[in-house]
Structure 1
Amino acid sequence: MKKRVFTIFAIAALSLYTASAQKSIRLGYIDMEYILENVPEYQEASRQLENRVQEWKVEAEAKLREVEDMKTRLDNERALLTKELIEEREGEIAYMEQQAREYQQKRFGPNGDYMIQKKQLVRPIQDQVFTAVQQIAENRNLDFVFDRTADIGMIYADKQYDVSETVLRTIKRTANREQLETKDEIEELERAEDRTVEQDAEITKREELVEQRQSEREAYIEEKKRERDSLRAARQKEFEERRARILAERERKKDSILKAREKKNDTIN
């Protein structure tokens, strides 16, 4: 519905523009889904991704089953365990449950492997399509080309129809006028309105320099965050190794107790 409304709106807007400018505007459209369905390389890569997804689902389900099995065993053995052993087992279960949830997010979350690889799969074909559309539009003198299956809709437009900069300047000036309170502010706005696009571009360039410095600071903060994450991962690894040693020690003690009981039984007999 959203795509249809957008397309209708775009066509209506172009029709109005045509009527006012007395210039014929030429339109074209593509069907991206149809193109993808008929690209063998995409279909093969898509099948491979689907196979990988099935493997991820199996792994995720196995992790969840393991957690449920651990819970069941604990419930069955709870009456025979000490409070310390119960708390230890519950900690292990909580840890394994967290690992299972994190695995699901890693594979199927909004920023998970599936979404990333899906985008990577489509992007090369999209790049080829956009290049082809631009060439065809220029050869056939098309002003606009739409993708009938996309949310955005328009994938090509002749630059002569781009009024984004003018609209942006108008919005900013209107917003600024609504906030004016003093004579000096009004005079400053009038000077800004007298500036050319080139002058505004120079100011924008300076603002971008400030943003670049801000980005560098954010990059530094992100690097520090990665260092903290690395330290956290090292601690988690240490925890897992300690847990493995505890489990091994528990098994050793269990075996020792069983052997002692067997020896005692043999002595009695």
Structure 2
Amino acid sequence: MKTNKLLFLSFILLSFGFAAQAQRGARIGYIDMEYILENVPEYKEASTQLEGKVQRWKKDIEKKSKEVEQMKLNLSNERVLLTNELIEEREEEIKILEDEMLDYQQDRFGPNGDLMIQRRQLVQPIQDQVFNIVQEIAENKKYDFIFDKSADVVMLFAAERNDISDVVLRSINRAAKREEAQTKREEKEIERKEELSAEEEGAVTEREQEIEDKKNEREKMMEERRKQRDSIRDARKAEIEARRQRILEERQQRIDSIQKVREERIKERNQDNNTGDEEN
């Protein structure tokens, strides 16, 4: 209810603002914070790490829950065999474990739990950066209003031409690139691009893409030629190896043939000698 009142008051104030700007034509833009966050690499990486923690926390809670259920089942099965004192002791143990599980769940997933805290810590720096960039864009481009499409303010219609999410995202990426720039030349190139309008930057990006496409095409042609050369070289190598193998086999056959002839001659000679000895 309180939120609805706040939104209603915001709508009224915005309506007055639009009416005041109507005479000169209000310049309105909007951003999509969810879209921006999804396309910031650092946020995506940190979100993946946080999701890993969430899964581990859920497994811990599931494990504790199974332990509690097993203890309850054991107590139910053994109740008739236990004294009242032992039953009360078992029930106290179960209660303690249940409380520990609920406390753990609250510490991890409660309103002030680790998940909410770490999400705020993850999002806050990017939100601050987006806020500062939006202020700068609004002043430079003479915007009268800029909304967050993914926030609570209801937007009944938003022309895509007013979406400046990509402009904000480019500014974030440029800031990251400036931090990564290692030479003065790289810094000047980044600064030059920052001075370009969206249309000019789009043209530059298109030219860069054409250059990159041509480069990739050349690399592809060179790769195909290299594969062709390698194929021819491999075929020649296989042919040479086959010829060499054939020569070795023929040579071995000649050697075997000569050896066989020698053995036959020796055998004949031995037979002749034996015959001569018998005659004597």
Match of 1:29 in 2: 30
Match of 2:203 in 1: none
Letter matched to residue 88 of structure 1: E
Could you tell me whether the CA contact under 8 Å between 1:14 and 1:25 is conserved in 2?
Answer: no
1:143 Cα offset (Å)? 2.3
The CA distance in 1 between the partners of 2:9 and 2:60, in whole Å, is 42
Match of 2:20 in 1: 17
SS in 1 for 2:47: helix
SS in 1 for 2:70: helix
The CA distance in 2 between the partners of 1:107 and 1:60, in whole Å, is 10
Question: TM-score with structure 1 length normalisation?
Answer: 0.51
Question: TM-score with structure 2 length normalisation?
Answer: 0.49
2:21 aligned with 1:46: no
Match of 1:132 in 2: 133
SS in 2 for 1:73: helix
Match of 1:75 in 2: 76
SS in 2 for 1:146: strand
Match of 1:63 in 2: 64
The CA distance in 2 between the partners of 1:142 and 1:18, in whole Å, is 11
Letter matched to residue 133 of structure 2: A
Match of 2:117 in 1: 116
Match of 2:227 in 1: none
SS in 2 for 1:142: coil
Deviation track 1:177-209 (CA, whole Å, cap 9, x = no partner) reads xxxxxxxxxxxxxxxxxxxxxxxxxxxxxxxxx
Letter matched to residue 131 of structure 1: N
1:119 Cα offset (Å)? 1.4
The CA distance in 2 between the partners of 1:71 and 1:109, in whole Å, is 26
SS in 2 for 1:35: helix
Deviation track 1:130-151 (CA, whole Å, cap 9, x = no partner) reads 1111111111122221111111
Match of 1:212 in 2: none
The CA distance in 2 between the partners of 1:52 and 1:42, in whole Å, is 15
The CA distance in 2 between the partners of 1:78 and 1:153, in whole Å, is 58
Identity of aligned residues (%): 59
1:47 Cα offset (Å)? 0.7
The structure that has the greater radius of gyration is: 2
1:26 Cα offset (Å)? 2.2
Runs of 4+ in 1 over 2 A off after TM superposition: 4-15, 22-26
SS in 1 for 2:26: coil
The CA distance in 2 between the partners of 1:150 and 1:9, in whole Å, is 17
Could you tell me whether the CA contact under 8 Å between 1:36 and 1:42 is conserved in 2?
Answer: yes
Structure 2 regions of 5+ residues with no counterpart?
156-280
CA RMSD of aligned residues (A): 2.9
Deviation track 1:1-22 (CA, whole Å, cap 9, x = no partner) reads 99x9899766643331124xx4
Pairing 1:187-198 to 2, within 5 Å after superposition: none
Alignment size in residue pairs = 152
2:90 aligned with 1:89: yes
Deviation track 1:41-63 (CA, whole Å, cap 9, x = no partner) reads 00011111111101010000111
Letter matched to residue 51 of structure 1: G
Structure 1 regions of 5+ residues with no counterpart?
155-269
The CA distance in 2 between the partners of 1:73 and 1:24, in whole Å, is 74
The CA distance in 1 between the partners of 2:9 and 2:37, in whole Å, is 22
